[in-house]
Amino acid sequence: MTRIPSAVVAAGGLIGGYGAARWTGKRQLGGAVLAAAGAAAAQQWRRRAGGPAAGALTAAYLAAFAGSHPLAKKVGAWPSVLGVAGAVALASWAVADRRRADADA
């Protein structure tokens, strides 16, 4: 069974959370999407890279969410969300997913 890389889960949580809040007008729904994806990604990070790495990636995920707000005032909402999602995805791949890809090769 093919597993979804944690980079995709994390980026999807940031993008999906913002999209859900924006399109429904319900910030709580966006927060729920963000939290569910973050929890799923954190579990994958812990399994693939260990507790300290999972903690660091979770902190990066939360910092990306918080940092996207002031960044949006400078570059716009969607560019901000896409930028921070890309950064989190890259970090997730480098720390957790790449190891799995190397093991599968």
Residue 88 burial (CB count, 10 A): 25
Query: Where residue 103 falls among pLDDT bands split at 50, 70, 90?
Result: low
Tell me the pLDDT tens digit for each residue of 2-27.
589 999 999 999 999 999 999 999 99
pLDDT for residue 32 is more than 60: yes
> What is the model's pLDDT at position 3?
85
> Which amino acid appears at position 85 of this protein?
A
Predicted TM-score (pTM) of the model is 0.91
Which pLDDT tens digit goes with each residue over 55-97?
999 999 999 999 999 999 999 999 999 999 999 999 999 999 9
Give CA separation, 66 vs 40, 61, 69, in Å: 19, 9, 6
What's the confidence (pLDDT) of residue 101? 56
Helix, strand, or coil here: 42? Answer: helix
